[in-house]
Chain A
Amino acid sequence: MVRAILCTGASVAAGVVLAVAMKADGISERARKLHFSSIVVDTHDDTTQRFLDGKFDLGPRSATGSIDIPRMREGNLSAIFFSIWMPSKITGPDAVNRAIVQIDAVREQVRKHPDDLVLATTTAEIRDVHKQGKIAALLGVEGGHMINSDLGVLRAYAALGVRYMTLTHSGNDEWADSSTDKAVHNGLTDFGKDVVREMNRLGVIVDISHVSDKTFYDALETSKAPLFASHSSCRAICDAPRNMTDQMMRDLAAKGGVVQINYHVGFLSQEFRDAEKANPELNKAIGAEVTKRCGDNEGCQLVEGDRITREYVEQGKLPRVEFSKIIEHIDHAVKVAGIDHAGLGSDFDGANMPYGMEDVTKLPKITDALLQKGYSEGDVKKILGENTLRVMSDAERISRELNSASKK
Chain B
Amino acid sequence: MRRVLAFLRVSFCLCGGFFFARCTSADDIAERARKLHFSSIVLDTHADTPQRLLTGTFDLGKRDAEGHVDIPRMREGGLNAQFFSIFITGRTLGPPAVQQALDQIDLVRQNVQGHSKDLTLAATAEEIRRAHTQGKIAILMGIEGGHMIGNDIRMIRIYRQLGVRYMTLAHFYNDEWADSSTDKPVHNGLTDFGKDVVREMNRQGMLVDISHVSDKTFYDALEVSKVPLIASHSSVRAISNHPRNMSDDMIKALAAKGGVIQINYERNYLSEEYRTAFASLAGDVSRMEEKFKKECGDDNVCIGRAEIRLEKELTDAGKLPHVSWEKIIEHIEHVVKLVGPDHVGLGSDFDGADMPDGLEDCSKLPKITEALLRRGYSEEDIRKILGGNVLRVMEQSEKISKGMQAAQ
Residues of B near A94 (CB, < 8 A) are 95
Residues of B near A148 (CB, < 8 A) are 99
Q: Is A273 an interface residue (CB 8 A)?
A: no
Question: B157 is contacted by which of A93, A104, A152, A153 (Cβ under 8 Å)?
Answer: A104
Give the total of A residues in contact with B, Cβ under 8 Å: 21
Q: Please report the C-alpha to C-alpha distance between residue A92 and residue B150 in the assembled complex, in whole angstroms.
A: 15
Q: Is A328 an interface residue (CB 8 A)?
A: no
Establish whether residues B103 and A150, one from each chain, have CB atoms under 8 Å apart when the complex forms.
yes
Q: Is B110 an interface residue (CB 8 A)?
A: yes
Establish whether residues A97 and B99, one from each chain, have CB atoms under 8 Å apart when the complex forms.
yes
Residues of A near B150 (CB, < 8 A) are 97
Q: How far apart are B90's CB and chain A's nearest CB, in angstroms? A: 17
Q: A100-B158, A103-B158, A407-B116 are in contact. Are A156 and B95 (CB under 8 A)?
A: no
Q: Please report the C-alpha to C-alpha distance between residue A304 and residue B132 in the assembled complex, in whole angstroms.
A: 56
Interface of B is mostly: helix
Establish whether residues B116 and A93, one from each chain, have CB atoms under 8 Å apart when the complex forms.
no
Establish whether residues A100 and B96, one from each chain, have CB atoms under 8 Å apart when the complex forms.
no
Q: A101-B152, A101-B154 are in contact. Are A160 and B162 (CB under 8 A)?
A: yes
Q: A107-B157, A153-B103 are in contact. Are A159 and B109 (CB under 8 A)?
A: yes
Q: Is A155 an interface residue (CB 8 A)?
A: yes
Q: Which of A100, A101, A103, A153 has the most CB of B within 10 A?
A: A100
Interface of A is mostly: helix
Q: Which of A125-172 contact B (CB under 8 A)?
A: 148, 150, 152-153, 155-156, 159-160
Establish whether residues A97 and B103, one from each chain, have CB atoms under 8 Å apart when the complex forms.
no
Q: How far apart are B138's CB and chain A's nearest CB, in angstroms? A: 18
Establish whether residues B94 and A93, one from each chain, have CB atoms under 8 Å apart when the complex forms.
yes
Establish whether residues B98 and A100, one from each chain, have CB atoms under 8 Å apart when the complex forms.
yes
Q: Please report the C-alpha to C-alpha distance between residue A100 and residue B150 in the assembled complex, in whole angstroms.
A: 12
Establish whether residues A152 and B98, one from each chain, have CB atoms under 8 Å apart when the complex forms.
no
Residues of B near A80 (CB, < 8 A) are none
Q: Please report the C-alpha to C-alpha distance between residue A101 and residue B102 in the assembled complex, in whole angstroms.
A: 13
Q: Which of B76-115 contact A (CB under 8 A)?
A: 94-96, 98-99, 102-103, 105-107, 109-110
Residues of B near A103 (CB, < 8 A) are 158
Question: B106 is contacted by which of A100, A111, A156, A407 (Cβ under 8 Å)?
Answer: A156
Question: B161 is contacted by which of A92, A160, A407 (Cβ under 8 Å)?
Answer: A160
In this complex, what residue of B is CB-closest to A97? Answer: B95
Q: A97-B95, A100-B158 are in contact. Are A153 and B116 (CB under 8 A)?
A: no
Establish whether residues A93 and B105, one from each chain, have CB atoms under 8 Å apart when the complex forms.
no
Q: Is A176 an interface residue (CB 8 A)?
A: no
Q: Please report the C-alpha to C-alpha distance between residue A388 and residue B150 in the assembled complex, in whole angstroms.
A: 37
Q: A152-B103, A160-B161 are in contact. Are A93 and B154 (CB under 8 A)?
A: no
Q: How far apart are B204's CB and chain A's nearest CB, in angstroms? A: 11
Q: Is A339 an interface residue (CB 8 A)?
A: no
Q: Is B288 an interface residue (CB 8 A)?
A: no
Give the number of A-B contacts (CB < 8 Å).
Answer: 58
Establish whether residues A96 and B98, one from each chain, have CB atoms under 8 Å apart when the complex forms.
yes
Q: How far apart are A160's CB and chain B's nearest CB, in angstroms? A: 6
In this complex, what residue of A is CB-closest to B96? Answer: A93
Q: Is B155 an interface residue (CB 8 A)?
A: yes
Q: How far apart are A255's CB and chain B's nearest CB, in angstroms? A: 28
Q: A92-B95, A107-B157, A148-B99 are in contact. Are A156 and B116 (CB under 8 A)?
A: no
Q: Which of B172-205 contact A (CB under 8 A)?
A: none
In this complex, what residue of B is CB-closest to A407? Answer: B116
Establish whether residues A160 and B158, one from each chain, have CB atoms under 8 Å apart when the complex forms.
yes
Residues of A near B99 (CB, < 8 A) are 93, 96-97, 148, 150, 153
Question: A104 is contacted by which of B94, B102, B154 (Cβ under 8 Å)?
Answer: B154
Question: B102 is contacted by which of A92, A152, A407 (Cβ under 8 Å)?
Answer: A152
Establish whether residues A93 and B158, one from each chain, have CB atoms under 8 Å apart when the complex forms.
no
In this complex, what residue of B is CB-closest to A98? Answer: B95
Residues of A near B94 (CB, < 8 A) are 93, 97
Interface string of A11-31 (1 = CB under 8 A from B): 000000000000000000000
Q: How far apart are B271's CB and chain A's nearest CB, in angstroms? A: 39
Residues of B near A150 (CB, < 8 A) are 99, 103
Q: A152-B107, A159-B162, A407-B116 are in contact. Are A97 and B98 (CB under 8 A)?
A: yes
Q: Please report the C-alpha to C-alpha distance between residue A195 and residue B103 in the assembled complex, in whole angstroms.
A: 16
Q: Please report the C-alpha to C-alpha distance between residue A28 and residue B105 in the assembled complex, in whole angstroms.
A: 53
In this complex, what residue of A is CB-closest to B110? Answer: A155
Residues of B near A93 (CB, < 8 A) are 94-96, 98-99
Residues of A near B152 (CB, < 8 A) are 97, 101
Q: Please report the C-alpha to C-alpha distance between residue A180 and residue B152 in the assembled complex, in whole angstroms.
A: 34
Residues of B near A160 (CB, < 8 A) are 158, 161-162
Q: Please report the C-alpha to C-alpha distance between residue A100 and residue B96 in the assembled complex, in whole angstroms.
A: 13
Q: How far apart are B143's CB and chain A's nearest CB, in angstroms? A: 14
Q: Please report the C-alpha to C-alpha distance between residue A236 and residue B105 in the assembled complex, in whole angstroms.
A: 46
Residues of B near A97 (CB, < 8 A) are 94-95, 98-99, 150, 152
Q: Enumerate the 8 nearest inter-chain pairs by beta-carbon distance, A residue then B residue, closest first.
A: A93-B95, A152-B106, A97-B95, A152-B103, A93-B99, A93-B96, A156-B102, A104-B154
Q: Contacts A100-B102, A104-B158, A152-B107 given; 8 further ones with Cβ under 8 A?
A: A93-B99, A97-B95, A100-B155, A101-B152, A107-B161, A150-B99, A152-B103, A160-B161
Q: Using CB atoms and an 8 Å cutoff, list the residues of chain A in contact with chain B.
A: 92-94, 96-97, 100-101, 103-104, 107-108, 111, 148, 150, 152-153, 155-156, 159-160, 407
Q: Using CB atoms and an 8 Å cutoff, list the residues of chain B in contact with chain A.
A: 94-96, 98-99, 102-103, 105-107, 109-110, 116, 150, 152, 154-155, 157-158, 161-162, 405
Sampled A-B contacts (25; CB under 8 Å): A92-B95, A93-B94, A94-B95, A96-B98, A97-B99, A100-B98, A100-B154, A101-B152, A101-B154, A104-B157, A104-B158, A107-B157, A107-B161, A148-B99, A152-B103, A153-B99, A155-B109, A156-B105, A156-B106, A156-B162, A159-B106, A159-B109, A159-B161, A160-B158, A160-B162
